[in-house]
Structure 1
């Protein structure tokens, strides 16, 4: 009986976090406001992705395919809600943030996510 290994997508949020912290620390030397803005935008991307990863990949096997489909749908809905709430919290926080840097950090983490997932799945 062959078994399918879990995809190594659990490592992706860790990779994103390390890259985000290094980039934010480097930007902190240049401009603290931009560094905090990039960090905030990156966290808004990482937390929902981590939620989706944990929620969507908790079931394995053909016998539980209805549970897998349900988990993916709930994980995606939760990811969308967490993203909206994250941006609302960032922009309502009252901190002086650069909106372009917030969205830049968010989109940079999305690109890293797509790349890291592609590499992880291809390497499996």
Structure 2
């Protein structure tokens, strides 16, 4: 079975996260780790949503598809909250600007979705 094109968005988010972190590494290791954390806090929950939401296909599975979208969104929200809780409790030297900046930037990759999933 062919993967849904939305998987490309998740891959793009992960690549952008790594690239941003590597760009910030010469500036500060703390900034790079914070950006990596922020990017992963965005892309991993989004990967869960894509995995959950695109499990079913076809008109006969309409109820399963709708239920999967709701479950995916709820799971994405819970994973995002959990990620930030873990980041702020387990990482002593977090840089909030890099963390939230990377989170917002990686979230903005979704704006490029129409270009990424174009046939």
TM-score category, normalised to shorter length? over 0.9
Equivalent residue number for residue 73 of structure 1: 70
Aligned length: 118
Equivalent residue number for residue 21 of structure 2: 24
Q: CA deviation at 1:31?
A: 1.1
1:26 and 1:64 map into 2 onto residues whose CA distance is: 44
State the TM-score, normalized to the length of structure 1.
Answer: 0.89
Structure number with bigger Rg: 1
Contact 1:51 1:79 (C-alpha < 8 Å) held by counterparts? yes
2:30 and 2:109 map into 1 onto residues whose CA distance is: 22
Equivalent residue number for residue 114 of structure 2: 118
Q: CA deviation at 1:92?
A: 0.6
Structure 2, unaligned runs of 5 or more? none
Equivalent residue number for residue 44 of structure 2: 47
State the TM-score, normalized to the length of structure 2.
Answer: 0.92
Structure 1, unaligned runs of 5 or more? none
1:106 and 1:78 map into 2 onto residues whose CA distance is: 17
2:90 and 2:51 map into 1 onto residues whose CA distance is: 27
Q: Quote the RMSD (CA, aligned, Å).
A: 1.4
Q: CA deviation at 1:6?
A: 6.1
